[in-house]
Structure 1
Amino acid sequence: MSDPNAFQESLALFAMDEAATAALPEAKRLPSYIKDHRQRLRQRFLEGGADALPDYELLELILFRAIPRQDVKPLARTLLDRFGDFNHVISAPAERLSETKGCGPAVILELKIVEAAAHRLARSRVIQRPLLGSWQALIAYCHTTMAHRETEQFRVLYLDRKNVLVADEEQAKGTVDHVPVYPREVMKRALQLNASALILVHNHPSGDPTPSQSDISMTQKIEEAAQALGLTLHDHIIVGKSCELSFRSEGYL
């Protein structure tokens, strides 16, 4: 961490945690090997940031708060084995997380807090800003919020006359390979928001962002409806696991 004061404050907080643990009855204290392991992980994170830790250790740091007096390494490994990587773990639906032994309400809460923080940080980089001049921030936001979902989600980004994002709204949820979209509802909401332009975004849980024929047909219908109302459809972005496809760049618009 670059701020030495923040570093010292963090160390002080950890010291307070350890002091509180020491005050517990002996039967409730952490075994020394677990206590030492947690201290080492915290120190490495403070000194080197997230890049200093592999996925399972970063996940352990989150689990420390939810499970204060147990070894959390087995649970971290189990979650990663089941969901694949750190991003998929924190993005997993609460119902699926709860199916994992040892993953109770406290663990799920901590994971969902981290997920919400990631979404809010990514959103802060695009909201109330001209999107066409912040395209990479927009793509990063779309990936953060949608790339790891297990079902399709369709969102519409509504823009004003200066192409500033005024609303980001989910229009529909679907299955693993289909999401129902109604152009009339998209246009109705655009008029309610007094929007001048829009960007469509949806994800492909398969990981392949190649548009289906229904994706192309639906986009054409929305573009026709937008033109009839004097609105501009800037793009339709399909988000895959590690890449995205722009209808505008690929010539579909």
Structure 2
Amino acid sequence: MSETPAPLHAGHRQRLKERFLASVRAEAPEGLQDYEYLELLLFLGIPRKDVKPLAKQLLARFGSVGAVLTAEPDQLIPITGESAAVALKAAAAAAQWMLREEVVGRPILGSWDRLLDYLHATMAFREKECFRLLFLDRKNRLIADELQQKGTIDHTPVYPREVVKRALDLAASAIILVHNHPSGDPQPSKGDIAMTRQIRDAALPLGVIVHDHIILSPTGYTSFKSDGLL
């Protein structure tokens, strides 16, 4: 009885793995196409299927590798199945974990580029607007990183009293406000500016400083402090 031949995609998988390892050894991972990187991750959750069409479908749906990795599990599972969604989210979590380790316990204001890298990875590609709070101690070291609110595609409700109360609960001396603009334009709205100043004015008499408010999008970011808005 003859052996069943290996599916055609088996050879493709092995070749892609070898190319990836070669690029890692050469410290040149940019040698892969976006869809090929997603293929490697999908291999982990879908062991016996050609996943190239699925990788390209994900890119068409979400727009970029970053957007795929930061998509909500409930958005991924109907497309990829649970195991592949876990593989994608695990890759995203590992990347975010590594970036977070670069800022936790260090003076934030002296690790600004690393902080921006971390925030970009966790916030920039979300399809809904989210509001994040970074709480700092007297030496400007990060003591808490909390996602306070999730909103719609263009609005997140933020309550200054709750922000200040949480800072006091944590004995924080300073706050950095962070949110994303899924529209792609990181420029602040009039509402963003007004809300930031309300939080600043409520926090200052209680000894809590608002260091900055950062707005992120896939195309860049805005810093209120750098732009003279704080």
TM-score, length-scaled by structure 1: 0.85
Alpha-carbon distance between aligned partners in 1 of 2:78 and 2:151, rounded to the nearest angstrom:
22
Q: Which has the larger radius of gyration?
A: 1
Determine if contact 1:158/1:198 at 8 Å carries over to the other structure: yes
Alpha-carbon distance between aligned partners in 1 of 2:212 and 2:45, rounded to the nearest angstrom:
42
Alpha-carbon distance between aligned partners in 1 of 2:187 and 2:6, rounded to the nearest angstrom:
51
Q: 1:104 to 1:172 in 2, by over 3 A?
A: same
Determine if contact 1:30/1:69 at 8 Å carries over to the other structure: no
Identify the residue that residue 87 of structure 2 maps to in structure 1.
Answer: 110
Matched position secondary structure for 1:208: coil
Q: C-alpha offsets along residues 52-95 of structure 1, whole Å, 9 cap, x if unaligned? A: 21111111111111111111111111111111121111111222
Q: Does structure 1 residue 77 correspond to structure 2 residue 56?
A: yes
Matched position secondary structure for 1:205: coil
Which letter does structure 2 place at the counterpart of 1:152? E
Q: C-alpha offsets along residues 144-178 of structure 1, whole Å, 9 cap, x if unaligned? A: 00001011111110000100000011111111111
Alpha-carbon distance between aligned partners in 2 of 1:171 and 1:79, rounded to the nearest angstrom:
28
Determine if contact 1:238/1:244 at 8 Å carries over to the other structure: yes
Which letter does structure 1 place at the counterpart of 2:63? G
Identify the residue that residue 41 of structure 2 maps to in structure 1.
Answer: 62
Alpha-carbon distance between aligned partners in 2 of 1:164 and 1:84, rounded to the nearest angstrom:
35
Q: Does structure 1 residue 38 correspond to structure 2 residue 7?
A: no
Identify the residue that residue 195 of structure 1 maps to in structure 2.
Answer: 172
Determine which structure has greater relative contact order: mean sequence separation of CA pairs < 8 Å that are 6+ residues apart, divided by chain length: 2
Task: Map 1:24-173; keep pairs closer than 5 Å.
Answer: 30-31=6-7, 33-49=8-24, 50-100=29-79, 103-173=80-150
Determine if contact 1:64/1:72 at 8 Å carries over to the other structure: yes
Matched position secondary structure for 1:148: coil
Amino-acid identity (%):
55
Alpha-carbon distance between aligned partners in 1 of 2:145 and 2:42, rounded to the nearest angstrom:
31
Matched position secondary structure for 2:78: coil
Matched position secondary structure for 1:249: coil
How far residue 98 of structure 1 moved from its aligned partner, in angstroms, is 2.9
Determine if contact 1:30/1:70 at 8 Å carries over to the other structure: no
Identify the residue that residue 177 of structure 1 maps to in structure 2.
Answer: 154
Q: C-alpha offsets along residues 14-66 of structure 1, whole Å, 9 cap, x if unaligned? A: xxxxxxxxxxxx55x742x3222111111111111321211111111111111
How far residue 226 of structure 1 moved from its aligned partner, in angstroms, is 1.3
How far residue 228 of structure 1 moved from its aligned partner, in angstroms, is 1.0
5+ residue gaps, structure 1, are 1-25
Alpha-carbon distance between aligned partners in 2 of 1:105 and 1:240, rounded to the nearest angstrom:
28
Q: Does structure 1 residue 249 correspond to structure 2 residue 213?
A: no
Alpha-carbon distance between aligned partners in 2 of 1:209 and 1:77, rounded to the nearest angstrom:
28
Alpha-carbon distance between aligned partners in 1 of 2:57 and 2:68, rounded to the nearest angstrom:
10
How far residue 109 of structure 1 moved from its aligned partner, in angstroms, is 1.0
The runs of at least 4 consecutive aligned structure 1 residues that moved more than 4 Å come to: none
How far residue 234 of structure 1 moved from its aligned partner, in angstroms, is 0.7
Q: C-alpha offsets along residues 93-121 of structure 1, whole Å, 9 cap, x if unaligned? A: 22222333xx1111111111111112111
